[in-house]
Structure 1
């Protein structure tokens, strides 16, 4: 190969290398332009500080978020900037000191709350070369957090006030509300008391509908301005009910009082009228009651001039009004007028936590009334708690009073309880009332196993009669014994 050919080949290789280097330089310049564009146009603020604490670069967003101009910080020592009050704190100085990523929250001149995160950039010897600070506006987030904290504080305060109000109402009205269900019902009653909406109370006989009605009245502004008037729609003959509700004018009918008579609506003016057993209201009076609710007025028997009334109506029933509407036994329009706010009080068997407290409450009340010092034995208490109480609170109160009066000593045993509470009547349920299927199955299973164990000598015999395995009988019998023994 000649010298010229050698030189020519060398020059070709050199030119190829130079072209590749040029391409890399162009790529690097393009990447740098992209990075510069990102740096300048980033919505978040970016600041770069060297390992001496000197600011070497900032982007426009940093100026916008902090209110500090780049002329104030470029080439300046961060220590001096903090001393002069340009910044309250310096995340870059913390990074240089701790040698790890650090975050602080700082309020700028603009009033914006910013979160500043400093990240160390290391050289090949694992020494900090620069610190990159990312600055993000968290003013709205910070404001929302403060609002959340204030809301939580208010919620806690309101909850404390509600609990205290509930406690006072319970004490003043001799209410027992140990169960979550009853506590929620009392809370709802207190809220309803603040408005004048019509209320419909639902629940079996004896659950405490009248007591709840009095809570609503006593907790309302009407307690100071008007009376609480109760009328039982089912206890008054239909022929007399209209005159009792709406009153009558002189000479309205034979035997009417000479000067007429005020009805319950007028007596309850500015107060509360409790219409108990509303389901028993005759159809013709349903129409008249609907008019009173809609028009706030009525015409007394024998009268011609409408009487305006300002009364809060609370109705109650142990019947299924909706079903009665479907059967045509109760006016649909009246049902919806009454059913503005409905409160359903569960039967005692659905809130067993209240039973021990009710027993204690009525025992203390009867002891105080008659000067007794009586109490139930553990076995008697267990039987009282286990009973399903189809008559609810009213039945419980009556049986406790009867037991206290008829018992001879101060200790009332299991055998001195009313015959209604005999063993064979425990855990029975009323098929006239719908209860969850799993509850019904368990009650029936419990009763059958107990009766079979009383009749037969071994679990093997019981299993044979019930047509289940012996292991099933033994397991379930133990379960029910454990549950009974855990009762107070």
Structure 2
């Protein structure tokens, strides 16, 4: 972006915007048009110089070049809106109006983009065939860009074609169940059931009947119709057992038998049922330590751990924070009909936070911020108090102002990145910034330190 702006003449930039097919209009706080591109001629029959410099009253007065107008509302409410409009020429438009705020949080400009309805566009513009990769739909929920997550996904892609058990390790909230679903979705079993169960959420006395099912009348309190177990429900597909460390010891031997013999027997039955299934397990516990204290069978551990995937915590994949934040903003803005964004200072804090709750905590923070905010911009001061405690932000001094604290964190990140990577290119890649930014920050924090 910096290189583009640096190497692009302002006239070239204006020429680019002039020729965008959608209408672009910029208003000032006097409701006066500062800029309009050539598309306005198609919508209103007016040349650019016939719009620029004129006020809103001119266009929505007697002539009514379009109706209704959202500009006054955006200035008053300080929020983006979308609105259907009709022009003097009978053209239906979808108009998005976005406020641009100044340093005092007042609306300085309103930028509008106005698009013809699709049926009109399809007559004017040549459509192209939609020939996207069908696999793309399957993987869009797995959002990442960090090198260490790329390694995890690369290994997941490799093992997805092998019908053997795998173990997913990681802290709470890192996305273990999502990765299990991803593996199933790209495997040969993708058209078969994916059954997921959290072992910690089931009463230990009920786990056996949940897994194996039972025949009618098998025990006191059993359903008169019997019950399908998870093995039967997942047959042909994938069974994902989250928190596998919670499986009681007395059932571990029975589970091991299922894995070895590829068959199971429902409670109350004497007839084994053949099983064609893939097992994926996950845990945030140290199973090796549990083996040492005789809480987990070593033979079962080795049977389940043919392949091991270790999802790093969010604090070790900083490059993913920004893209995940954008994802959750889209999800919750859509859910609550909002258009909130984080300020640069708030994003700085999100990037430096320790995220002990990982992706789940990030999701909760974004949702909470959207629900609590009346304005569109979520500022650093709108974040919960825990974002400003010493143990949550690495290397941050607690005395001084918030801007000093953010500056201190930024300095520590640059110094640590310089010690580890040495070159500006590698530092830029590690911190997901441009190389020119890396050079400037090294001069600022390293050379002058």
Q: 1:383 to 1:170 in 2, by over 3 A?
A: farther
**For 1:185-241, what per-residue CA distance to the aligned partner results, in whole angstroms no more than 9, with x for missing partners?**
1121111111101010000000010110011111111112x2000111111001111
Q: How far apart, in 2, do the equivalents of 1:228 and 1:388 lie? A: 33
Distance in 2 (CA, whole Å) between partners of 1:267 and 1:481 is: 49
Match of 1:420 among 367, 379, 386: 386
Mean Cα deviation higher: 337-346 or 169-178: 169-178
Counterpart Cα distance in 2 of 1:249 and 1:309: 17
Q: CA deviation at 1:482?
A: 6.0
**In angstroms, what is the RMSD of aligned CA positions?**
2.4
Shift of 1:361: 1.1
Q: Quickly say closer, same or farther: Cα 1:481–1:300, change in 2 above 3 A.
A: closer
Aligned to 1:201: 168
SS of match in other structure, 2:190: helix
Alignment: residue pair count? 282
Post-superposition shift, 1:334?
0.1
Whether the aligned pair in 1 keeps the contact of 2:386 and 2:392 (CA below 8 Å) is no
The answer on whether the counterparts of 2:138 and 2:186 sit within 8 Å (CA) in structure 1 is: no
Task: Select which of 270, 293, 317 maps to 2:283.
Answer: 317
1:414: Cα distance to partner? 1.1
Q: Structure 1's 184 and 237: CA in aligned 2 closer, same or farther, altered over 3 A?
A: same
The answer as to 2:322 corresponding to 1:356 is: yes
In 2, the alpha carbon distance for the partners of 1:477 and 1:386 equals 7
CA distance in 1, matches of 2:413, 2:168: 38
Q: Is the 8 A contact 1:243 1:301 kept in 2?
A: yes
More helix by share: 1
Alignment of 1:55-204 (within 5 A): 168-169=135-136, 172-204=139-171
- Whether contact under 8 Å (1:207, 1:345) holds in the other structure is yes
Task: Tell me how far apart the structure 2 counterparts of residues 417 and 214 of structure 1 sit (CA, whole Å).
Answer: 32
Partner of 2:280, secondary structure, is strand
Of 233, 242, 251, the residue aligned with 1:267 is 233
CA contact (8 A) 1:170 1:176 kept: no
Does the 8 A contact of 2:265 with 2:272 survive in 1?
A: yes
Partner of 1:480: 412
Aligned equivalents of 2:148, 2:380: Cα separation in 1: 29
Within 2, Cα distance between the matches of 1:230 and 1:199?
A: 14
Report the 3-state secondary structure (helix = DSSP H, G, I; strand = E; otherwise coil) of the residue aligned with 2:201. coil
Q: SS at the partner of 1:303?
A: coil
From 393, 408, 420, the equivalent of 2:374 is 408
Larger radius of gyration: 1
CA contact (8 A) 1:170 1:177 kept: no
Unaligned runs of 5+ in 2: 1-131, 402-407, 417-430, 434-449
Q: Is the 8 A contact 1:222 1:270 kept in 2?
A: yes
Report deviation, 1:169. Answer: 4.6
Counterparts of 1:187-336 in structure 2, within 5 Å, are: 187-224=154-191, 226-336=192-302
Q: 1:454 to 1:310 in 2, by over 3 A?
A: same
CA distance in 2, matches of 1:297, 1:454: 65
How much has 1:479 moved relative to structure 2? 3.9
* Preserved contact between residue 322 and residue 351 of structure 2 (Cα < 8 Å): yes
Counterparts of 2:413 and 2:155 in 1: how far apart (Å)? 38
Where 1:222 maps in the other structure, the secondary structure is coil
- Ranked by relative contact order (alpha carbons within 8 Å, sequence separation 6 or more), the top structure is 2
2 CA distance for matches of 1:190 and 1:172? 11
User: 1:407 deviation in Å?
Assistant: 1.1
Q: Residue 359 of structure 1: SS of its match in structure 2? A: helix
The answer (yes or no) to whether the contact 1:173–1:215 under 8 Å persists in 2 is no
From the superposition, tell whether residues 171 and 230 of structure 1 become closer, same or farther in structure 2 (CA, over 3 Å): closer
Q: CA deviation at 1:418?
A: 2.1
- Counterparts of 2:335 and 2:266 in 1: how far apart (Å)? 43
Residue 341 (str. 1) matches residue 273 (str. 2): no
- Counterparts in 2 of 1:423 and 1:335: CA distance versus 1, 3 Å: same
TM-score (norm 1): 0.55
